[in-house]
């Protein structure tokens, strides 16, 4: 997996995971509110002139793709995207070790330009 996807994983572990879990808990707390979790192609968001054109996948499709052993999704525009950019981390038995958040900040801020440059 490439260095661009590593950046997504570092951001996810550096606070995005916590933010997403809080949002889900808040939404779950509203009675009668229905919502569907989706994943958006990050390259569509980056390259397309309108964010409304970005490819969206149902969360179940993403989870099934991971379960099938794939590590990439390709959107309708042909963008090949590492799944870690969509879900933050792809969990497997060998990837279950986690790092404390404070150890990730140096990597995110010091290597951001190098790791995430396109």
Query: For 44-64, what is each residue's pLDDT tens digit?
Result: 988 998 888 999 999 999 999
pLDDT in tens, the chain (118 residues): 455 556 767 777 888 888 888 988 998 888 888 888 899 998 898 899 888 899 999 999 999 999 999 989 999 999 998 888 788 777 653 343 444 554 544 544 444 444 444 4
Q: CA geometry: angle at 13 spanning 7 and 16, to 5°?
A: 90
* 53 vs 51: CA distance, rounded Å: 5
Type and span of the H or E element at 73:
strand 72-74
Q: What six digits make up the tokens of 55?
A: 């490819």
- Report the predicted TM-score, pTM, of the whole model to 2 decimal places: 0.62
Instruction: Put residue 40 in one of left, alpha, beta given phi > 0 → left and psi -120 to 50 → alpha.
Output: beta
């Amino acid at each position: 997996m490439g260095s661009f996807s590593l950046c997504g994983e570092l951001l996810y572990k550096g606070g995005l995971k916590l933010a997403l879990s809080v949002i889900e808990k808040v939404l779950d707390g509203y009675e009668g509110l229905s919502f569907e979790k989706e994943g958006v192609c990050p390259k569509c968001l980056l390259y397309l002139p309108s964010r409304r054109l970005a490819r969206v996948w149902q969360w179940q499709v993403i989870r099934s793709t991971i379960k099938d052993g794939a590590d990439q999704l390709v959107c309708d525009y042909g963008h090949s995207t590492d799944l870690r950019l969509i879900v933050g981390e792809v969990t497997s038995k060998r990837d279950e070790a986690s790092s404390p958040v404070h150890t990730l900040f140096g990597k995110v801020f010091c290597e951001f330009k190098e790791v995430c440059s396109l």
